[in-house]
Homo-oligomer: A and B are copies of this chain.
Amino acid sequence: MIVVLKDSATRENVQAVKDYIVGKGAQVHESEGIEKKIIGIIGNKRVIDKTALNAFPGVEHVIQILEPYKLASRKFHPRNTIIDVKGVQIGGLEPVHMAGPCSVETEEQIWEIAKEVSEKGGHILRGGVFKPRSSPYSFQGIGLEGAKWMYDAGKEYNLGIVSEVMEINDIEALYDYVDIFQVGARNMQHFKLLKALGKTDKPVLLKRGMSATMNEFLMSAEYILAEGNEKVILCERGIRTFVQHTRNTFDLNVIPALKNVSHLPILVDPSHATGKTDLVSPVTLAGLAAGADGFIVEIHPRPYEAYSDGDQSLNFQQYDALLKDLNILRDGILTLRKQKLEKVELECI
C-alpha cells in the first residue's frame, strides 16, 4: 500500500501515519519526490485498513497495490481448479454445458426439458424454484416441490442439477435435491449467504453482480473459499451500462482477465448477458473462444408460455442451432484449451 501525502501535510501528520502503520506490525518506507511525498508500507498489507489511512490528516489518498483476494488468486493456487459434478469436470478440457428453463413450472415441463438436454449432450440441468423477481406481483417460483421434480428428472437422465438459493434457509431446503447451488447476480454481495455456502460441501455457481468489479467478484468468491468450500464456479452474466440494444452488456474481457489472476472456472451465461435469443449463439461461441469453461443457457419448449424470462429463452429449435454452431468451432476450441492447460502446467513446474 502506498500513502500519498498532501503538500500541506505537517511533520506531525506524517509521524501519526507512520506510527499507525508500525503499530499494525508493518514497516514504513518513505520517499520524497519533487511535488509529492509518499510513504510505502511493507508487510502483510491486508491487516491495514485503507479507509482508516485515508482518514488521517495530511493524507491525500491511498493506493492499494496488492490484490485484495488471496485464496481465489492464481498465485496461491497456480493450477486451475477442476470441480467434479457427477463425473463432469468443470474447469477441465471439455467445456461444460448447462441448460434448462428459467423457472421450473410443472413436472411435465422439467421432464420434457431434461430429456432434451440429455439428448443434446448437456451435462447439467438448470432451473429456478425460488425466483428473485423485480416485481412482487410476478411469479415468485414454484417452491421446493419443483426441486424434487428436478432431482428425479436429473436422476433419470444422468444430469447434475443447479438451482438458485436466495437466502440461508434455502440451502438446507435444497441440499438433498441439487448438485450445485447457484447465487444470483442480485445476491453476489449477500455476504451471510456466501458464508453459509462456504460451510457446505457442494459446489457454488456464483454469478457476477451487474455492477460488480472483477475484484469485488473475486472477493465474493473469497467469502466462500475462506469458509473452507473450494468449489466455486464463477459466471459472467452481463453488466449494467448505458447500452440499450441489449438487456445487459456482456463483459467478454473479464473472462481472460479472470483466467490470468484466478484459478477458478468461469462460465458464460449468454441468456442474461444479452436478453435476446438471437444473440445467444454468437455470445456463447465468443465466450468459449475467449477461454470460458462452459456455458449455462435458458431453454424452454414454448418460450411464450414461460412463467419468466420467455424473451431470452431458446426454444428447442434454437437450442439445436446453437449446438450445431458450437460443433463447428469445437475442434478449434479444444485445441486452444489444451494449449492453455499445457501452458499452466509448464508454469507450475
Report A's interface with B, CB cutoff 8 A.
Answer: 2, 4, 7, 16, 20, 29, 31-36, 38, 40-46, 49-57, 63, 65-66, 68, 75, 132-138, 140, 166-169, 186-187, 189-193, 195, 209-211, 213-216, 219-220, 222-223, 226, 239-246, 249-257, 260, 273-274, 276-279, 282-283, 285-291, 303-313, 325, 328-333, 335-336, 339
Contacts and interface: CB of A to CB of B under 8 A. Distances in A.
Nearest to A211: B211
Please indicate which of the listed interface residues A46, A137, A330 has the most CB atoms of chain B within 10 Å of its own CB.
A137
Given A252-B283, A257-B276, 17 more contacts: A2-B38, A20-B304, A38-B40, A38-B65, A49-B310, A50-B311, A52-B304, A54-B311, A68-B135, A140-B191, A186-B190, A210-B211, A213-B242, A214-B245, A242-B242, A243-B251, A255-B282
Given A211-B210, A243-B251, A283-B256, A43 B51 contact: no
B245 A254 contact: yes
Given A239-B243, A278-B256, A166 B192 contact: yes
A222 B54 CA distance: 29
Contacts of A253: 243, 245-246, 249-250, 273-274, 279, 283
A167 B195 contact: no
Contacts of A312: 51
A52 B256 contact: no
Nearest to A68: B135
Contacts of A31: 29, 31, 40, 42
Please indicate which of the listed interface residues A56, A169, A222, A328 has the most CB atoms of chain B within 10 Å of its own CB.
A328
B38 A219 contact: no
A133 B256 contact: no
B38 A33 contact: no
Nearest to A257: B245
B252 A136 contact: no
Given A40-B38, A65-B36, A135-B222, A325 B329 contact: no
Nearest to A291: B282
Contacts of A190: 166-167, 186-187, 190
Please indicate which of the listed interface residues A29, A186, A253, A310 has the most CB atoms of chain B within 10 Å of its own CB.
A253
Contacts of A308: 49, 51
Contacts of A16: 304
15 contacts: A29-B31, A34-B44, A38-B40, A52-B303, A52-B311, A55-B311, A63-B63, A134-B189, A137-B226, A167-B192, A213-B243, A213-B245, A242-B242, A253-B279, A331-B332
